[in-house]
Structure 1
Amino acid sequence: MKKVPLSSPQINSSDIEVVVEVLKSGRLSIGKYTEEFENSIRDFVGAKYAVAVSSGTSALHLILKASGFTEKSLLIVPSFTFVASANVALFEKGSVEFVDIEPDTLNTDSSHLEEVINKNSEKYENIYFMGVDVFGHPLEWDRIEAICNKYGVKIIEDSCEALGSEYKGKKAGSFGIAGAFAFYANKQITTGEGGIIVTNDEDIYKISKSLRNQGRGEGEGWLAHEYVGYNYRIDEMSAALGWSQMKRIDDIIGKRDKVAQRYNYLLSNLEVKTPVVKEYVTKMSWFVYVVQLPESVNRQKRKKIMEYLENNGIQVRNYFEPVHLQKPYRELGWKEGMLPITESVAERTLALPFYTDLIQEDQEYVVEKLKEALEIFA
């Protein structure tokens, strides 16, 4: 039986060589490659500063912490995202409000965002909006920025899935007070585990850099601490791998786009909704390829479709489960019916195998089996 994994990192000989070099050097943390990796991301995005950390989650957490988010703050975030986008507010004992999404891009619905801001504008010392570029598709930033500026809302860009995407020629990660990228093995480039903060704000840069390293002060002794910090450092092997992968980032993005366009063509005769890319997206850097199954498909039918594909060697996933319906947030009062678009879409999303070197033959097999599953179960 043919096997098609959901994702597969592209690792070449140069990647392996530089990681081995680090291992042989004996300098496995806070070495030259951490700085080199930071510089490569910083220059690629066009930011003034970059701070490499242990994960995308730690990047988002440090941005909140460094920018003054407290228990008297509110984070507004879409529920259609990875849970970390919301969890970081709870790390700091702040409050979370969820916002619904557009049914086509699956990004934040700007009209609902303004409603949520209005509803909460007098309740908190400050309000933040976590803008998630879902699956690599940038938000409609002109509209989002206008709304947030109107109400004095701080923007953090969760661009963990969008390295290389552009909104009207401007790179994802460069909107708001700071942005975050993540480099798990299914991302455009990988460090295994890892993330990075990009910002033009010197204070966020300096505080984040200290907080990731147990709150140590710049130029102080190794046991001198200015903040209650964290061990959020990226290790040197991971940083070296990321630096090596960044050398071919444009080629990787181009190859992933070809895979996505091939899916678009192969799926054109199936009753599924393929991903939408809006005209304001001047470059789409694909993270995953997620289709929406027909409206006749409910969770039970989707489960049967997924099982059929898995039984034929095709690894698939549902992307995403609404965060507001996860147990920690139900306990805060969230329940079904509060975000209707998010809940409806989440019942029918299906992530197909997608990665840089996915070949046409395997894609054709995936689409063939998906067609069979739809004929049986949809």
Structure 2
Amino acid sequence: MIKLSQPIISEEEIQAVSDVLRTGMLVQGQYVADFEQALKKYMGAQNVLAVSSGTSALHLALAALEIGEGDAVFVPGFTYPATVNVLEIQKAKPILIDVDASTYNIDPDKLEETIINYSGKETPKAIMVVHEFGAPAEMTRILDIAKRYNLFVVEDAACALGTTINGQHVGTFGDIGCFSWHPRKAITTGEGGAVVTQNEKLNKRISLLRNHGLERLEDGSMDFVLPGFNYRLTEFQAVLGIHQLKKFNKWIQKRNELVEYYYKFLRECPHIQLPKKIEGHAWQTFMVVLEDIIDRGNVIHSLKLEGIETNLGAQAIGELTYYRKKYDFENLSQHTASNLYKQGLALPLSPLLDKDDIRFITTKLMNILKANE
């Protein structure tokens, strides 16, 4: 079976994890600090804090910015539910913005239009930007909009390690950036994530919130200065992340090569739309969009019979049971997000694949699409 995505964990990494386990020092020690330093260097970030998941990173971002009940946050309508789930945890209201059909990222024009026409009782506080599948969002425009309307910017960069805009790493543009090291991401620590900020005060608050609000005093004693969480990363996860990051540039290069083969082999294929090429894209996922006449479920099933694993890309939040029932999203323009949710098809992408694999995948896909005409 050609897997949709597959973590790459070497014997050397397994041995390193085993060595850490034998030490008995398992939580937020020197390896976590070393991983944070490696990420700071890689991203060119001022501050990086390793945490237990990408979702905990998002939650910490909102808590650090004191976004909560009575606040509204503008979010893309096409994303993984974690982006909006943390708003629910904080009792803030999500305001969905439709996305661009070719990049799958939040549409700046629709974002500003929604802000201008907003009449809800909750106070707008922030924009959550998702760099969907590693595609860089239009940060220059988004930051300009945020400045004009006095809004925080939180970057959900869960899929975007290695993504850059004019040489600057995403996650370092807004007030806070959030990353994930889930097994489907480009590097993995099993679960895990990171919070990035250029603001020292925010970094201090996030550091406290990450670890129960604990502050160590000069005399060696401890105080608890605010109600925090337990969002620490383990030492054995961190040592895995350190090893993975060393190989990451080669993996990104391989992903870009495979994506070029996808474009080459699918360029003339009817019934699908290819994603837009954007400079600085890290290509965590390669998702095409099938025409409405194509039954995506049948395509996924048929490809599985051929030994190829595929799936949907992300969710349209307004289509999900919980959010559809709780909020009135019907008056918002969610056409693109809904279409991507219903017709998006994520194809296998991993540095373990090669040109022949992509040729096999695309040939089978084109044959299946032809049979579905």
Q: Give me the TM-score of the superposition, normalised by structure 2.
A: 0.95
| Aligned position for 1:311 | 305
| Aligned position for 2:153 | 155
| Aligned position for 1:296 | 293
- Mapped to 1, the partners of 2:221 and 2:291 lie a distance apart of 58
- Mapped to 1, the partners of 2:258 and 2:33 lie a distance apart of 32
1:123 CA drift (Å):
4.2
Q: What percent of counterpart residues are identical? A: 33
| Aligned position for 2:274 | 274
Q: Give me the TM-score of the superposition, normalised by structure 1.
A: 0.93
- Mapped to 2, the partners of 1:14 and 1:75 lie a distance apart of 43
1:336 CA drift (Å):
5.3
| Aligned position for 1:263 | 262
- For residue 96 of structure 1, what is the amino acid of its counterpart? P
Secondary structure of the 1:292 match is strand
| Aligned position for 2:82 | 84
| Aligned position for 2:144 | 146
Q: Which aligned segments of 4 or more residues in structure 1 are displaced greater than 6 angstroms?
A: 220-223
| Aligned position for 1:369 | 364
| Aligned position for 1:12 | 10
- Mapped to 1, the partners of 2:21 and 2:86 lie a distance apart of 33
| Aligned position for 2:345 | 350
1:103 CA drift (Å):
0.9
| Maintained 8 Å contact 2:216/2:223 | no
Within 5 Å, give how 1:1-378 maps onto structure 2. 3-120=1-118, 123-219=121-217, 224-271=223-270, 272-278=272-278, 281=279, 283-297=280-294, 301-335=295-329, 338=332, 339-378=334-373
Secondary structure of the 1:89 match is helix
Secondary structure of the 1:234 match is coil
Secondary structure of the 2:196 match is strand
- For residue 226 of structure 1, what is the amino acid of its counterpart? V
- Mapped to 1, the partners of 2:125 and 2:134 lie a distance apart of 25
Secondary structure of the 2:182 match is coil
1:284 CA drift (Å):
1.9
1:101 CA drift (Å):
0.6
In structure 2, relative to structure 1, the CA distance for the partners of 1:126 and 1:274 (3 Å cut) is: closer
Unaligned regions of 5+ residues in structure 1, if any? none
Secondary structure of the 1:108 match is coil
Q: How large is the Cα RMSD of the aligned pairs?
A: 1.7
1:362 CA drift (Å):
2.0
1:351 CA drift (Å):
0.4
- For residue 70 of structure 2, what is the amino acid of its counterpart? K
In structure 2, relative to structure 1, the CA distance for the partners of 1:337 and 1:319 (3 Å cut) is: farther
Secondary structure of the 2:78 match is coil
- For residue 351 of structure 2, what is the amino acid of its counterpart? T
- For residue 321 of structure 1, what is the amino acid of its counterpart? Q
- Mapped to 1, the partners of 2:342 and 2:17 lie a distance apart of 41
Q: Deviations over 1:122-159 (max 9, x none)?
A: 84444200010011011111111111111111101111
* Alignment size in residue pairs: 370
| Maintained 8 Å contact 1:54/1:193 | yes
- Mapped to 2, the partners of 1:315 and 1:157 lie a distance apart of 29
- Mapped to 1, the partners of 2:156 and 2:221 lie a distance apart of 31
In structure 2, relative to structure 1, the CA distance for the partners of 1:219 and 1:240 (3 Å cut) is: farther
| Maintained 8 Å contact 2:64/2:202 | yes
- Mapped to 2, the partners of 1:40 and 1:71 lie a distance apart of 36
| Maintained 8 Å contact 2:287/2:313 | yes
Unaligned regions of 5+ residues in structure 2, if any? none
